[in-house]
Chains A and B, each alone.
Chain A
Amino acid sequence: MAYDTLPEDSLTQSVMRRLALVWIDFEGRLEQVPIIRRLNAGRFTLEDYRALLLDLRQQVVDGGCWIARAASHVDAKHIDLRSRFMRHAVTEHRDFQMLEANYVNVGGAAEDIRRGRKNIGSEALSAYMFHKASQPNPFDLLGAMFIIEGLGSRKATEWGTAIRDTLHLRDDQVSFLLYHGEEDDDHLADFEKWVTRIVRTSEEGDALVRTAEVVARLYALQLEEVGRG
């Protein structure tokens, strides 16, 4: 593996670097997703925004659940990681309500967004998350959290601001995206510490990075499928 090419390089740095590469590749892919292209080009419409919220909601509503399931599969030896997962679950598990409120505030009907079904990408992403969360000591989910928290700290504010400015919306119509940007700043700050704590072998590092890769791909697929039912 790439770890071995630089003998003085620490395992943590190598994992962090490979995670950064997964992230950067993911961002490049997002640039090409049609709905994001429209946003970047200033051609984003209110219909686009409603479709985005409707589709995101179907997966976000599961977010707190898979993390809670992951926490329940962490053994007592790793109790601090269990706390980390549970904290994350608490922060996230009501997010979908804010999302629904945003949808209603831009003229959507509450029953529409609640009745919506997952798009193909959301189906795949959610199924993968629950599958991983059901394994004993699902530490490689840290790789999934790297991507999802990265979306919160980097992309959510960027998208939220662009959507607000393009569509001339009030903050309470884009609070789900704007709020994530503020909240998730410290989520990323302690990530390196957790990698050092959890990753002891290059195989564990590989598994964590692989999980990040899969989640990044499936998240992009979810956005590619927005509005396609």
Chain B
Amino acid sequence: MNDVQWLGERAMQDVYLTAAGACLPGAPVPNDRMVRHIGVLDPQSERLGRLILRHNRIETRHYALTETGEATHSNASLAATALRDAMGNGGYGMEELSLLAAATTQGDLLVPGHASAVHGELGAGPLEIASFQSVCASSMMAAKYAALSVGAGEARLAAATGSEFSSRWFRPSFYTPAEELLQNKEHRMAAEFLRWTLSDGGGAVLFADRPGARTPSYKVEWITLTSLADRFETCMIAGQGPEHREDLRNSWSFHPGGPAAAARDGAIMLYQDMVLLKRIIRAWVGEYLKLVDGGRVDPKGVDWLLCHYSAHSLREEIISLLKTTGGMIDEEKWFTNLPTAGNTGSASLFVMLDEFNRKGLARPGDKILCIVPESGRAVISFMMLTAL
């Protein structure tokens, strides 16, 4: 196991998470209006969509694409807007910020990095930046970088953002070039799950070397992040079809026919391998149980659990595994806004924290465990906070 030690106990100064912010574009979109934003693919797609929605139990979500197909934001502006919201919630002036760690699954551009785009949108004077590209857990990579920078005395106020403009990828034009592949039932399911699960949004959190003046502040106890890519194949993938994933030289950019030919081969669709996902979930639970077994997490001592998960049915799977192993955290301690905010990938945890703060649920001394699993290629991250 990659047992990452949080250095705060020895060499570093205390770090506080002092504010969160969110940007959920437009009005909430209910299930029966989704296709007005992402577009009509074919009747089979909508039948599958209804099935998937029953599994994920998401009721509303937000899209940065209007019903007429115009983009109201860029991915970068979703992040910048969320960050301004966090700065306002924490009562900070923009000049106080010295570091921006920006995370996303797919930036607006292939080149250069996402943090440059977010900084460009933000316009807050010269900043140190860092870009993190992964899937959901990219948010925690950014959070850990920002928190470590504060702990090491490199920054006094550092921001981490997570943002996704997923709906771009779900428009029919991203699927129709590979229409033939979609006739295969398994291929179709792998390509549709995320279309009906992910939506748009930005989230941000701030880390500081002292507690904040306004919103609830939390002491950051530790952050861990573990990749299990050494044993698992890629589970969520875009850039090459899942059947070619064993060799990265089959990815879209290697295609001798160029990007259009790669799209016809199904390389541009976003896939989820639902069979592999179940095996990876058990491995995630294993990483959690290691923390319990090592005494770092006491399930009975956790007051709030903010766990990102993509679908309600996956939550059920996780709960049944935890119950037999003494690792269960009572369900009344689970806080989520997945059903109303939707699954916004790398923004999800920060969007969740923002709503958790606004509801004023944490009491001083409460232990808040945040969990962000990423199916991409089996990553899982944990963060323990203590409410001040």
Contacts and interface: CB of A to CB of B under 8 A. Distances in A.
A8 B293 CA distance: 13
Interface string B29-51: 00000000000000000000000
A21 B300 CA distance: 20
Contacts of A41: 233, 245-246
A22 to B, nearest CB: 10
B325 interface: yes
A24 B281 CA distance: 10
Nearest to B1: A25
Interface in A1-32: 2, 5-6, 8-10, 13-14, 16-18, 20-21, 23-25, 27-29, 31-32
A192 interface: yes
Contacts of A136: none
B326 A9 contact: yes
A5 B283 contact: no
A52 B286 CA distance: 28
Contacts of A24: 282-283, 285-286, 289
Interface string B97-108: 000000000000
Interface in B247-296: 275-276, 279, 282-283, 285-286, 289-290, 292-295
A40 interface: yes
B376 to A, nearest CB: 16
B3 interface: no
Interface in A89-108: none
Given A29-B231, A31-B232, A21 B326 contact: no
A17 B327 contact: yes
A28 B283 contact: yes
Nearest to A16: B325
B289 A21 contact: yes
Contacts of B285: 20, 24
Contacts of A20: 285-286, 289, 321, 324-325
Contact of A17 (B228, B233, B243, B325): B325
Contacts, number: 67
B283 A27 contact: yes
A5 B324 contact: no
Contacts of A27: 279, 282-283
B298 interface: yes
A168 to B, nearest CB: 14
Contacts of A25: 286
Contacts of B295: 2, 5-6
Contacts of A17: 289, 292-293, 325-327
Given A6-B298, A21-B290, A25-B286, A40 B233 contact: yes
Interface of A: 2, 5-6, 8-10, 13-14, 16-18, 20-21, 23-25, 27-29, 31-32, 40-42, 158, 162, 192
Interface of B: 228, 230-233, 243, 245-246, 275-276, 279, 282-283, 285-286, 289-290, 292-295, 298, 300, 321, 324-327
25 contacts: A2-B294, A2-B295, A5-B295, A6-B292, A6-B295, A6-B298, A8-B300, A14-B293, A17-B327, A20-B286, A20-B289, A20-B321, A21-B286, A21-B293, A23-B282, A24-B283, A24-B289, A28-B283, A31-B231, A31-B233, A40-B233, A41-B245, A42-B243, A162-B275, A192-B324
